[in-house]
Amino acid sequence: MSAGMKPAVLVARAMYPETLARLQQHFEVEANPDDEVFSPVALSARLVGKVGAITTGSERIDAAVLAAHPQLRVVANMAVGYNNLDIAAFDAAGVLATNTPDVLTETTADFGFALMMATARRITESENYLRAGRWTQWRYDMFTGPDVHGATLGILGMGRIGQAIARRGALGFGMKVIYTNRSRLAPELEAPLGARYVDKATLLREADHLVLVLPYSASSHHAIGAAELAQMKPTATLTNVARGGIVDDAALAVALAERRIAAAGLDVFEGEPAVNPALLDLPNVVLTPHIASASERTRRAMADLAADNLIAALTGGRPLTPVNPGVLPLRA
């Protein structure tokens, strides 16, 4: 790079104009205003000469990509999850990865709770019934479903978002909260929620409404499959606002079709944006297109945090939310 030239960065998906303008104060920015989802080959071509990138979950950065682009120094993921980034490879290459936690916690919890309620109270199913012109009279058992208030809320993954969902259930709806996590919460976090730490089998057996908010990894792949679904109550609901692949969608479709659980609410899917066709034909599933963090304020905060991380990492500052801080300080 010649003296006086700005370093080059890639913004891999469409971005708020204000965020791009701020980045352009520091960098030569290659943007993607058409919001094309790059193939691996196209992504690699656009990373040529770039020292930094802002990515989303649709861009996979692994050891091969890093090896092909040794000038790359930082990848700022605009998401709290980063299963699209091979962190072991980032560590080996000395490349920083960052994410956007915290700023989306409350918004995602709002949506997770709303999706759980819509699932329990059969909102989508009853709306489709009405829109189809099938509502001609009231009936005592029309679209009855399980209560949310006073029910047992089971949470698999009790991080920031899990705790925020638990607060809504316990404090707003008088729900009994049970949870499974890699480690038990500190007593001062459990106590205000009346939350009870249980093993996975107990969680599956006792939850009236099971909400999944654990990160995706090889160990959490198909954490909910046919065997786990068989342990749930036939009246239970399942809500996934975590990541696709945590649930075996094919097994879930069978369980829903056979009414072995009552209903499911899904914001994430295996192989998204593709959705298992078996799910599309089922009345007892609420489907949304990965929008749990999609409030205007939160999405702007996510974009701003990704930009802040990129700017700090490449201008001698301290990134706010590094995933692998052990690689700091970055090479020149």
- Tell me which residues are annotated as active site: 243, 272, 290
Q: Are 306 and 77 in contact (CB under 8 A)?
A: yes
H-helix or E-strand spanning residue 307: helix 296-314
Tokens of 41: 């080959």
Q: Which two tokens stand for residue 212?
A: 């999944």
* C-alpha–C-alpha distance, residues 42 and 23, integer Å: 22
DSSP string over 163-210: HHHHHIIIIIH--EEEEE-SSPPPHHHHGGGT-EE--HHHHHHH-SEE
Specify the DSSP element, H or E, that contains 22. Answer: helix 17-24
C-alpha dihedral sign at 316, 321, 325, 331: negative
Q: How many CB atoms lie within 10 A of CB 88?
A: 11
Query: Residue 278, by phi and psi: left (phi above 0), alpha (psi -120 to 50) or beta?
Result: alpha
**How far, in whole angstroms, is CA 240 from its chain's centroid?**
9
Single-letter amino acid code for the residue at 159: G
- CA dist., res. 261 & res. 150, Å (int): 19
β-pair partners for 178: 154, 196
